[in-house]
Amino acid sequence: MTQPTPTPGIHHVTCIAGDPQENLDFWAETLGLRLVKRSINQDDPSTYHLFFADAEGTPGTSMTFFPWADVAAGKVGTGQVARTAFRVPAGSLGYWEDRFADHGVDDGERFERFGEPVLPFRDPDGLPVELVGVEIPEDDPTVPWTAFVPETAAIRGFHSVTLWLADPDPSMELLETMGFEEVGVEQGRADTPGDERTRFAAPGTVGRYVDVLPTIEGGRQGRGTVHHVAFQTPTDADQEAMRAAVRSAGLRPTSQIDRHWFRSVYFREFGGVLFELATNGPGYASDEPLEDLGGRLVLPGRFADRREEIEGNLPDVTVPRAEAVDTDAEADD
């Protein structure tokens, strides 16, 4: 069997939230990501699908949510993406600690992992998230969005996801099939249940790490948990080759599904985590101009001619407006 082209890394992460306004306020204003797409859950058009990313919706930067106001709280556990980490410029974690204090964010103590500083926190639904300080290369593919956070501290796409798995071996083999390489092992921390963390790296720049923690910790999907993680398969040919490899490994990937801004294949990996393979195109700017991203409700394909009905069933939300940011703000440590 021919090896598929390695995935460059994570494409997007999709989560379950509660109140859509709280979700918007936190992710667009407190964290300063750009709302690049305001759409609906294509399986449940009475629910929003909100996409937050960098300034241009670069692959590897989008965190997306299904906000269900009445959904029960979930519990992070085995068989899930248990932590989602974002890159921020090295030296900016002090800025973030101050910002989190100002905004009353539930954050933890800064610590070091694989030589990088990590700041853990939770969003309003209890979703565990981390910021990791990294050197941002000159030619970084991400474009910072500076409406609420200065460029010196702005989030620059995903750093990693951490999978909690009962029996990690088959999943680790799958990651290697997908193009990740094991790059290190580190002892776990007291605040996570696994005692040994194995890190895998893909060849890309953004979202290139997947960490695996072996642990048995009962979880359930709901508010404050990750629904699935998508990996980049830039072209249809890359995706088809990856799909074939995943199938040969004994999994059952779906056929390609058109998700309007990218094309997707889904499968549950051996440990129970829902994985997606997503193409890089057509992209979030394919149906509204770059400068207007997220400005209006976008209804893809068959939903387009039901606008009045769909809008009437969605809760009203206000998108946070940009404030003037002092771009000279010092990023300190």
Residues contributing to the site for Zn ion (CB under 5 A) = 14, 230, 276
Nearest distance from C-beta of residue 14 to Zn ion, angstroms: 5
Which is closer to Zn ion, CB of 14 or CB of 23? 14
Cα distance between residue 136 and residue 294, in whole Å: 26
* Nearest approach, Cβ of residue 262 and Zn ion (Å): 8
Q: Among residues 79 and 150, whose Cβ is nearest to Zn ion? A: 79
Least distance in Å: CB of 199 to Zn ion?
23
Question: Which residue type, as a one-letter code, is found at position 281?
Answer: G
Contact 201, 55 (CB under 8 A): no
Peptide bond into 234 cis (omega under 30): no
Please report how close the Cβ of residue 228 comes to Zn ion at its closest, in angstroms: 6
Q: Which is nearer to Zn ion, 12 or 208 (CB)?
A: 12
CB of 44 closer than 8 Å to CB of 29: no
- Nearer to Zn ion (CB atom), residue 63 or residue 165: 63
Distances (CA, A) of 297 to 63, 77, 79, 139, 318: 17, 33, 33, 33, 12
Q: Nearest distance from residue 227's CB to Zn ion, in Å? A: 8
Toward Zn ion, which CB reaches closer, 123 or 276? 276
Total H helices, total E strands in the chain? 5, 17
Closer by beta carbon to Zn ion, 10 or else 93: 10
Name the minimum Å distance from CB 272 to Zn ion: 17
Give the Cα separation of 46 and 296 in Å (integer). 16
Contact 178, 4 (CB under 8 A): yes
Name which of 15 and 230 has its Cβ closer to Zn ion: 230
Question: How far apart are CB 61 and Zn ion at their closest, in Å?
Answer: 14
Shortest distance, position 276 Cβ to Zn ion, whole Å: 5
Q: Which helix (H) or strand (E) holds 118?
A: strand 116-122
The SS3 call for residue 141 is coil
- The residues, ordered by sequence, that sit 6+ positions from 35 with a Cβ below 8 Å of its Cβ are 24, 27, 28, 50, 51, 52, 293, 294, 319
Residue 141 Cα to chain centre, angstroms? 16
Contact (Cβ atoms closer than 8 angstroms) between residue 220 and residue 75: yes
Closer to Zn ion by CB, 193 or 222: give it: 222
